[in-house]
Amino acid sequence: MKHRPNGSDEKSYIMIVLGIESSCDETAASLVLDGKNILSSVIASQIDVHHKYGGVVPELASRMHIEAIVPVVDQAIREANLNIEDIDAVAATRGPGLIGALLVGFCFAKSFAFARNLPFAGVNHLEAHIYSLFLADRKPGFPFIALVVSGGHTNIYHVTSYDNFELMGQTRDDAAGEAFDKVAKMLNLGYPGGPVIEKLSKTKDPGAISFPRTMLEKGSFDFSFSGLKSSVARYVHDHSITTEEKKAQVASSFQEAVIDVLSKKLINAAKIKNCKHIGVAGGVSANKTFVEKLFFKAKDQKIDIFAPSPRLCGDNAAMVAARGYTMIQQGALCSLDHDVFSRTKIN
Ligand code: KG4
Ligand code: ZN
């Protein structure tokens, strides 16, 4: 028998979507009501396994997704206090990401939808990160500039509607999160690098070491973090960086260089596109120092900053269900012969 979730009234209740995410090192499932109310969001992280290798090992990731997918979906249904019959539609991440990892969640979702005769949407992971901004209490208004900044991407979009994401620029080499991870590895701080670098940075002056800020050609919204990474590597090689204090100095100066470049490009993009709102999403948007500094830099220009709640910054399935909901409403469905994709593809 179908249940009615807590808080939904007869008229407004339309659809419960099961979202599934498995593009990298998190297996996640979530039930979302009408694309906006999160009924449950379960995330099984593989960080402990990949930690000892200093980065994600794709083959291990796929195997762990296979082990986790059924219990995680099961837990998401239980935590929402619902039954399998209550699910009206299914959405899963289709790409970009690690092919083997994506295949686990996507094929599970496809089979689930086929077995239960439900509509099924294949969601772009980057669009899903933008949708995490719509799940927050404070949401950006259209048009706005969005930054998806994670271990795999540093993309700036001009977002003009729920379906229109114009890519303005992206990284030409390392993603910002990847640079955090690589610098953390140089300093023997473990994986993932972002949270530990942010924590260490709080103790030191961000202006102690002058690392480069690569802005590329005038007017470009692309990024390049490989020069900064090499500069940190040279500094670590040339100086004896063994104490916590010295590590903190490098971490703090590195983080400041990343924040400076991201903030300048975002504010320029907002000015050029005449946007008063900027939203940041993806793992690196969990960095409070970044969001606070961006907020103060943008304030002078009367631009407001938006970020997802902390549990929705990194990979999660609620954002996948939210994006899937609009696709399902519009009939943008996947059939059984649709496949996953590894590289950036939007719309
Ligand atoms: O979005 P996400 O969970 O997965 C990808 O799609 O990549 O992002 C993971 C990335 C990692 O590179 C991690 O170091 C970074 O986000 N990250 C952070 C912070 N928390 C996670 N970077 C900077 N500061 C943080 N607090
Ligand atoms: Zn992601």
Residue 321 is part of a domain; what is its CATH number?
3.30.420.40
**How does pLDDT run across 215-230, given as a tens digit for each residue?**
999 999 999 999 999 9
Do 61 and 192 belong to one domain?
no
Instruction: Check residue 157 and give its pLDDT.
Output: 98
pLDDT classification of 3: cutoffs 50, 70, 90: low
pTM of the predicted model as reported, rounded to 2 decimal places: 0.94
- Closest-lying ligand to the alpha carbon of 129? 2
Do 141 and 277 belong to one domain?
yes
Residue identifier of the C-alpha nearest atom 16 of ligand 1? 283
pLDDT-above-90 percentage for the chain: 85
Determine the structural domain holding residue 239 and report its residue range: 137-307
Residue identifier of the C-alpha nearest atom 3 of ligand 1? 314
**Where are the alpha helices (H) located in 91-243, listed in sequence order?**
99-116, 125-131, 176-186, 193-201, 226-238
Which range among 45-49, 103-107, 307-311 shows the weakest confidence by mean pLDDT? 45-49
Instruction: Check residue 1 and give its pLDDT.
Output: 44
pLDDT surpasses 80 at 320: yes
CA of 68 to the centre of ligand 1 (A): 21
Do 255 and 107 belong to one domain?
no
Do 87 and 158 belong to one domain?
no
Is 244 in contact with 112 (CB distance < 8 Å)? no
What average pLDDT does the segment 145-151 reach?
97
Instruction: Round to whole Å and give the CA distance between 226 and 161.
Output: 33
Q: Give the list of residues 6+ apart from residue 183 with CB closer than 8 angstroms, or none.
A: 193, 197, 229, 232, 250, 251, 254
pLDDT surpasses 50 at 144: yes
Token digits for 106? 């996507």
**Could you tell me if residue 334 is inside a domain?**
no
pLDDT surpasses 60 at 10: no
**How does pLDDT run across 266-305, given as a tens digit for each residue?**
999 999 999 999 999 999 999 999 999 999 999 999 999 9
Instruction: Check residue 120 and give its pLDDT.
Output: 98
CA of 81 to the centre of ligand 2 (A): 27
Instruction: Round to whole Å and give the CA distance between 114 and 107.
Output: 10
Of 21, 43, 150, 154, which is best to mutate to test ligand 1, by the most ligand atoms within 8 angstroms of its C-beta? 150
